[in-house]
């Protein structure tokens, strides 16, 4: 019974995340969405829940958008059942980043939905936090779910700029990028394709 309940939570997050991608009306987002298989086709794996101190802010998260509020509500409902991760060490980006950022997987090579060809995860950043310059081989789509981020990247005429809930950020393979959260916690839907999980290269 418990396994069935957990599967429902994962499937709900997965389908709500796909609906958020769908709300971004452009060809790149559409192609990311089309690459994700039906949830029924993905193997399920039971992960042990793991909370990190920064996740305590999740019940107070606000400033969503019409297109992201359903996913944020589902995250608020299920965040204590998720396996939150901090893939970086203090040496990578410092103590502040280490303690005030966290991720949990919806679908990836090690996720509750096993998906080896890409990644769908939720990123949490505390207020006023910089995720410094980094790059990685997989293509990436971020969709801001709540709050706003200051986006900086190379090879792009429109940055630096703010991206708020409901707006997307795209990075080509190995495009250097950085984001800084505004004055409130931020949730971001983070998608990769073209390779399983790897620790990004720090610039
Ligand atoms: Fe990235």
Query: Which CATH number is 180's domain given?
Result: 2.60.120.10
Ligand 1 centre to CA of 5 (Å) is 32
Q: How many domains does the chain have?
A: 1
> Ligand 1: distance of its center to the CA of 177 in Å?
7
Q: What is the model's pLDDT at position 3? A: 47
pLDDT at residue 98, rounded to an integer: 97
Residues in the chain, pLDDT under 50:
1-6
Q: Decide if 185 contacts 146 (C-beta within 8 A).
A: yes
CA 61 to ligand 1 centroid distance, Å: 22
Structural domain containing residue 196? 2-202
Looking at residue 155, its pLDDT comes to 72
CA of 1 to the centre of ligand 1 (A): 37
CA of 140 to the centre of ligand 1 (A): 6
Q: What is the pTM of this model?
A: 0.93
Please tell me the distance between residue 103's alpha carbon and the centre of ligand 1 in angstroms: 12
**How far does the centroid of ligand 1 lie from the alpha carbon of residue 133, in Å?**
9
pLDDT of residue 4: 45
Task: Show Cβ contacts of residue 24 under 8 Å, excluding neighbours closer than 6 positions.
Answer: 143, 167, 168
Closest to 138 in 3D by CA, of 14, 20, 35, 3: 35
Among candidate residues 74, 72, 66, 73, the one with its CA nearest the CA of residue 24 = 66
Query: Dihedral of CA 177/118/83/166: which sign?
Result: positive
């Amino acid at each position: 019974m418990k396994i069935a309940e957990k599967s429902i939570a994962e499937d709900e997050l997965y389908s709500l995340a796909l609906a958020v991608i769908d709300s971004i009306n452009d060809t790149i987002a559409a192609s990311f969405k089309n690459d994700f298989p039906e949830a029924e086709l993905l193997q399920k794996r039971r992960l042990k829940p793991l909370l990190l101190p920064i996740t305590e802010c999740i019940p107070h998260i606000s400033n969503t958008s019409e297109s992201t509020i359903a996913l944020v509500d589902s995250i608020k409902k299920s965040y204590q059942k998720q396996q939150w991760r901090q893939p970086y060490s203090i040496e990578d980006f410092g103590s502040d980043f280490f303690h005030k950022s966290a991720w949990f997987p919806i679908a990836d090579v090690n996720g509750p939905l096993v998906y080896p060809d890409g990644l769908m995860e939720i990123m949490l950043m505390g207020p006023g936090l910089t995720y410094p310059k980094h790059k990685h081989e997989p293509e990436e789509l971020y969709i801001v779910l709540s709050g706003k981020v200051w986006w900086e990247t190379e090879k792009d005429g429109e940055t630096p700029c703010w991206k708020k809930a409901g707006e997307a950020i795209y990075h080509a393979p190995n495009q250097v990028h950085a984001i800084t959260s505004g004055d409130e916690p931020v949730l971001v839907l983070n998608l990769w394709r073209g390779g399983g999980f790897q620790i990004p290269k720090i610039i």
